[in-house]
Amino acid sequence: MDVSQILFQDDKSVIDLYQLQELFSLAAFWAKGRSIEDLGIAITNSEPVISAWDEKKLVGFARANSDGIYRATIWDVVIHPDYRGCGLGSTLVKTVLSHPRMNRVERVYLTTTHQQKFYERIGFQPNTSTTMLFCNNAKLTGVATTEQLEESLKV
């Protein structure tokens, strides 16, 4: 496929949430069934958000969270099935990595179930030694109250 007409965008205001929901349902097993409202929250709180377009059709998406210097995490990397194998996925991830919010970051993390080889080609290394996971349905006790937080700020 000739992908020379595909345009990459770093403006998150162009994202059509309905097309994104459809792309995830089609091609991202971990992101099926996400609501429009929740997708909007994720995009608002992510930077950069990179999308790939064939005219008005959303064909690729990735987003990241970054502190700009020490740590960042990339999420939700996906290329539409009809557009795979042409270098778009690699360009998408490299575009995320070269964004000003990412390009000085010391360590960039991501999680992947099946695509280790794809990321290794870009320069990622397997990392099994440092990863922990907290699921937000776990019960938390011992959280500081608002009063305790205010008190600690006075010290």
Ligand X SMILES: CC(C)(COP(=O)(O)OP(=O)(O)OC[C@H]1O[C@@H](n2cnc3c(N)ncnc32)[C@H](O)[C@@H]1OP(=O)(O)O)[C@@H](O)C(=O)NCCC(=O)NCCS
d(CA 79, CA 76): 10
Tokens representing 155? Answer: 């010290």
Q: What is the nearest approach in angstroms of ligand X to the Cβ of residue 90?
A: 3
Which residue's beta carbon is nearest to the bound ligand X?
Answer: 89
Q: What is the nearest approach in angstroms of ligand X to the Cβ of residue 13?
A: 23
Is 63 strand, coil or helix?
strand
Q: What is the nearest approach in angstroms of ligand X to the Cβ of residue 149?
A: 36
Q: Judge contact between 30 and 24, C-beta under 8 A.
A: no
Nearer to ligand X, 79 or 105 (CB): 79
Tokens representing 151? Answer: 């008190």
Nearer to ligand X, 34 or 84 (CB): 84
| The residue to which tokens 């699921």 are assigned | 135
Residues at the contact surface with ligand X, assessed by CB under 6 A: 27-28, 77-79, 84-90, 112, 114-115, 117-118, 121
